Amino acid sequence: MKQFVINLVSADFAQKAINCEAKLPRGINELEHFGLHMVASKHVVVPGVKEAPATIECSLNEIIDPKDSDHVLLIGKVLGGTCKFMREPNKPDLDAINPVMHVAKEHFRKVGSRIDLKRNK
């Protein structure tokens, strides 16, 4: 079974994570080279990144490889994960996680402030 781990990147180590895009000589571990560390996952054999505030561990269902793109889309089934910062059970604290998202090229964004809205039930 093929597996993968999604590691949420926080502002605390975002530059180190982006540095891992570097083309290093074969045999050099990008994580170690840029000061990051691997950690065993709980639900898959693929390791996660120790510095990640949250991980999502998945089994691979499908790979979509769009034409004219240098990216692929992985479709998977979530088997489990971790989160170091919880507001309460099953509710991650995004302010504490401080995730960073890639927009385009060298542009990134942090998640904005939380707002509460009434839901129709």
Domain chopping of the chain, boundaries? 3-84
Question: Taking the CA atoms of the chain, what radius of gyration do you get in angstroms?
Answer: 16
Q: How confident is the model at residue 40 (pLDDT cuts 50, 70, 90)?
A: very high
Can you name the CATH fold of 3-84?
Pnp Oxidase; Chain A (2.30.110)
pLDDT tens, residue by residue, 64-109:
999 998 889 999 999 999 999 999 988 999 889 999 999 988 999 9
Is residue 64 classed exposed, middle or buried when 0-12, 13-18 and 19+ CB atoms within 10 A define those classes? exposed
- Report whether pLDDT(121) > 90: no
User: Quick count: other Cβ atoms within 10 Å of Cβ 85?
Assistant: 14
Distance, CA of 97 to CA of 109 (rounded, Å): 14
pLDDT in tens, 3-32: 999 999 999 999 999 999 999 999 999 999
Nearest to 42 by CA among 97, 67, 79, 15: 79
